[in-house]
Structure 1
Amino acid sequence: MDDGRVTDRLLAEHRDTWDAAVTHRFIRELFAGTLPDEVMASYLVQDYRFVDGFMALLGAAVATADNYPSRHRLAQFIGEVAGDEDTYFVEAMEELGAGDAGDIPDTSSTAGFRTLFAEAAGTGNYAAIVSVLVVCEWLYLDWATRESNRAAAPAGNGGYPLRHVHAEWVRLHDYPGFHDLVAFLRDEVDRAATRSPGDGAMAREYFRRTVELELAFFDETLPPAR
């Protein structure tokens, strides 16, 4: 690959899709507090469906990382997903009345994420794996911190929605440790993707697929206004 940050170039290649996801109608209504409960519940139900596959992907990242500091940070990340984020999912779905959602079918993008995580893990290629991870976390950091989204929040509330179930989802993707996590994942992609041309190609392919699925997931949850 050329000089410069790999992650900057990958983002530039998919800027239109990325920005469409980050500024999606779902996100704007989340910040504004106007997102219907049934839409938020559906989103969380579907998102929670692929947490299991995401944890397996993180396990594959730990297994394929080439140094102890990276393994250690990824292992911490597993604990974070299994901790506060899991608690949020369970409590938020209960508050929103999601109930027994076992009979609700997967959306096509949910199924797509499950397939993507399994395929990335199955490659045994660290560059492919961390390229999926960086999109999943960096894109969320972007929407959680983007000023145009924050401006949709009620005045006088520090750029956060008023209702806890909305505000906490934002906070989980905008705190110092999360910023540090995204910086770490970007560094890992930048490093792994430059080890060989094959690693660079894997990073590009899996980055693209993940960005496209992120936008599809929002579109299926709340179609863009016509």
Structure 2
Amino acid sequence: MSVSSDLWAADADLVAAALAHPFVQGIADGTLPRERFAGYVAQDAFFLDAFARAYRLGAESSGDDGLRAVFTDLRAGVQEELRLHTGYAQQWGIDLADVQPLPATTAYTGFLLDAAGRGDAALTCAAMTPCMRLYAHLGQQLAGRAAGPYREWVDTYAAPEFEELAARLERLLDQLCADTSDQRLAAVRSAYSRAMQLEVGFFDAAWAGA
């Protein structure tokens, strides 16, 4: 198995928890209260801004032109997600310019920016891959049964274009971890698992509204 597949399998319990989460299931069947989704959209827009900055930091710290190009392309993909959030914000009157991040949001964004700021491309990828792979997984699992006002959310993450972004980041992670030391691989595993824990925590906060 590849490093990315290994890491995904190691956190299968967190993946299952995310898919079964009442917030995610409420998106799938359209029963999620609108105010909870609106709160999530605001928090996720704040998160995605930091996610894009983490890609930028990864690109800036890379001395490899090919690696820099991949990070730059992946950062462009985040803009598509932000456009989705902007659309919801416009429809529902959500003010994205005045978002007060919840503790779960700042914990995740702080973790990402710290990882990206270390100048270690493998660590940056390990911190960012869980978000991409998990959302692609959720979209694909929910596709075909999504109903109600959140179907566009499911369709966005179920799309082949989003799958390709997630797969591209995984390929980069595999490439960067090839022939790496056990110590560095342990740090990669730790970052990946921590990111997955923060993903579930983000859904917890969105469900609780706090």
User: Any idea what SS the aligned residue of 2:49 has?
Assistant: helix
Query: Sequence identity of aligned pairs in percent?
Result: 25
Q: Aligned to 2:84, which of 82, 88, 91?
A: 88
**Aligned Cα RMSD in Å?**
2.0
List alignment gaps of at least 5 residues for structure 2. none
- Cα distance, 1:78 vs structure 2: 1.7
Q: Aligned to 2:58, which of 38, 50, 61?
A: 61
Other-structure match for 2:23: 26
Q: Deviations over 1:7-59 (max 9, x none)?
A: 22212222111210122111111011111110000001111112222111101
Q: Aligned to 2:174, which of 162, 187, 190?
A: 190
Other-structure match for 1:173: 157
Report the structure number with the largest CA radius of gyration. Answer: 1
- Cα distance, 1:214 vs structure 2: 0.3
The reply to whether residue 160 of structure 1 matches residue 155 of structure 2 is no
Other-structure match for 1:221: 206
Instruction: Write out the 4+ residue segments of structure 1 that deviate beyond 4 Å after TM superposition.
Output: 64-67
The reply to whether residue 97 of structure 1 matches residue 81 of structure 2 is no
Say whether the 8 Å CA contact 2:136–2:163 is kept in structure 1.
yes
The reply to whether residue 210 of structure 1 matches residue 181 of structure 2 is no
TM-score relative to the length of structure 2: 0.89
- Cα distance, 1:80 vs structure 2: 2.4
Say whether the 8 Å CA contact 1:37–1:96 is kept in structure 2.
no
List alignment gaps of at least 5 residues for structure 1. 151-157
User: Any idea what SS the aligned residue of 1:50 has?
Assistant: helix
* AA partner of residue 93 (structure 2): G
Say whether the 8 Å CA contact 1:22–1:140 is kept in structure 2.
no
User: Any idea what SS the aligned residue of 2:157 has?
Assistant: coil
